[in-house]
Chain A
Amino acid sequence: MKYKKSQFYILAVVIIIAVIAVLITTINQSRFTKEPTKFYDLSDQFSKETSQVITYGVYQKENIVEVVNNFSSTFLYNYTLEKEPNVELIFLYGNSSDIYLFNYAESSIKITNCPEGMEMLCLIESSRPLVLGNIKLDIGKGANIPTQSQGQFKSQPINLPKYSNKILIKVAEEDYEFNLKDENEQFLFIIKKNESGEIFVSGNI
C-alpha cells in the first residue's frame, strides 16, 4: 500500500519538475519591425504624381517651382501625414538653369565640404533640428538651410547655388546623388520615416 502511495508522489514530483522546466526554459525569439508597406506605397505614388505635376506645369507654361511646391506640401500635410505619421520629405528639383531644395524634414540641411576630389554641391542633413521663420538666407558654403515649419503650407523653396550638375546629399547617414542633365526637368526626393527607432528611407533614389 505504502509502495503505491510513494509511486504517486514520485509521479507527481516528476510532473511538477517537468512543468517547471518547460516554463522556465528560455525561448529564443527574433523580433523585427514590420516593413511599413503603406510608406513605400506613398513613396511610389508621390514619384508618379510629381512627374505628372511637372508635365502639367511644362505643358501649361506655369511656374514649375510654385506648382511643385504647392503639390508636395499638400501631398505631405493634407494626405501623407494623415495616413502615415512621422513622415519627412526632402525634395530637390532642377532644370537647365536652377536647382531648388524643398525641405520638409525636421532637421535642417547644410551645405558641406565635399569628399576629396568631388566637384559638386554637397549637402548634409544636420542632426540638430532648426526651425526658423521667415529669415532671409545667405546661402554659401557652410550656411544652414532651415526646415520649413511643419504645417506651413506654402513654404519657400531654396534656390541652391549651381556649382555643377551633380549634387550629393547625405540623409540618414546615406549618400544620394542627383545628376542633372541640362535639358531635363528632374527631381529627386527622399522620404523617411522613423518608427520605433528604425529609420526607413525611400524615394526615387
Chain B
Amino acid sequence: MKKKSVSHIENIIAFSIFLIFITFMIIYLSPLRVPRSSSYILDVASNKFQEAYSVRLKEYTLVLSSEVLSVSESCITFPAQKFEPSSPIGKYVIKNDSGVIESDLENNNIEIQKPSSRVFYVYVSEESIFSPPSADYDGCLTLSDDNYSIIQGVSFYPVSEEKVKSATDYLAVKKTLGIPDSFDFELILVDMASPDKPLLNLSKQKPITNVLAREYPLSMITSKGDIKNMVFSIKIW
C-alpha cells in the first residue's frame, strides 16, 4: 500500500515536470506565432513613398543692397542660372516672409516686383513642379553683382503636391510602394489644416483585425510654392 502511494506521487511529479517543460517550450519557441513580415513591408512602403513622391528643394536667400529699394523702377530682374537649373521653367518659386511673390521669366531672367524688404528666398527644384502666380513686367532694373548677394541655403525633401495628385491608381501605387500582391493597403494623405478633405485616399475594404498601421507628419510643397504640414497614414493587411 505504501509503495503504491509512492508510485502515484512519482507519476504526479513526472507528469507535472513534463507539463512545465511543454509549457516552457511553447512559450520559448512560439510555434504558432505567425512571422510579422508585414511590419517590414510597412517600413519599405513608407520609405518608397518618400522616394517616389518627394522632391529635392534647395533654398537660396537673396539679400539686396539697400540702394535697390530706392530706385525708380517698379520691378527688378536677375538671371535664373545663378540658381543652377539650366531650364528654369516650373523649377523655381520666389517667396518673402509673407508668402509667394508673383514672378515672370523673360529670356531666362527672373522678374519680380521691387520688394519692400531686402531679403527674399528662391526655392529651386530639380523637377518641374511649380506653377506659381505670374505677372508681366516691363522696364525692370537689371541687378548687377554689386546689387545683391546670394546665400546658399539648405536642401530639403518635401512631398510634391504635383506628384501626389498623379497617384490615383491603386495597383500602380501598390507597385510603387513595393507592397507584395498578397497584401492590401490603405493610404491617406491629409492636410493638418483641413483634416476632413484628404488629398490622397487610396483604399480597399480592410479587415477588422490584423491591420498594421503607421502615421507620421510630413511637409508638402504645393504647385503654388506653399509648404503645408500633412499627415501620412498607411495601413497594410
Contacts and interface: CB of A to CB of B under 8 A. Distances in A.
Interface of A: 1, 4-5, 7-8, 11-12, 15, 18-19, 22, 44, 47-48, 51, 54-55, 58-59, 181, 183-187, 204
A18 B25 contact: yes
Nearest to A44: B154
A184 B150 contact: yes
B82 A181 contact: yes
Interface in B1-45: 3, 7, 10-11, 13-14, 17-18, 21, 24-25, 28
Contacts of A186: 152
A18 B21 contact: yes
- Closest 5 pairs (CB-CB, A-B): A186-B152, A8-B14, A51-B153, A185-B151, A184-B150
Given A4-B10, A184-B152, 6 more contacts: A8-B10, A11-B18, A51-B59, A54-B151, A58-B151, A185-B149
Nearest to A10: B14
A167 B155 CA distance: 20
B48 to A, nearest CB: 19
A32 B62 CA distance: 44
B63 interface: yes
A54 B63 CA distance: 10
A8 B11 contact: yes
B82 A183 contact: yes
B10 A15 contact: no
Interface residues of B, number: 27
Interface of B: 3, 7, 10-11, 13-14, 17-18, 21, 24-25, 28, 59-61, 63, 82, 118-119, 145, 149-155
A22 B145 contact: no
Contacts of A187: 152
Given A18-B21, A204-B155, A185 B150 contact: yes
B36 to A, nearest CB: 16
A12 B149 CA distance: 85
Contacts of B118: 59
Contacts of A58: 63, 149, 151
Contacts of A11: 14, 17-18
A51 B151 contact: yes
Contact of B3 (A1, A8, A12): A1
B101 to A, nearest CB: 17
Contacts of B151: 51, 54-55, 58, 184-185
Given A11-B18, A59-B118, A181-B82, A48 B154 contact: yes
B119 A183 contact: no
Contacts of B82: 181, 183-184
A3 to B, nearest CB: 10
Contacts of A51: 59, 61, 151-154
Contacts of B119: 55, 59
A184 B145 CA distance: 10
A44 B157 CA distance: 12
A204 B59 CA distance: 12
Nearest to A96: B145
A86 B61 CA distance: 32
A167 to B, nearest CB: 14
B53 to A, nearest CB: 21
B106 to A, nearest CB: 20
5 contacts: A11-B14, A11-B18, A19-B24, A58-B151, A59-B118
Nearest to B82: A183
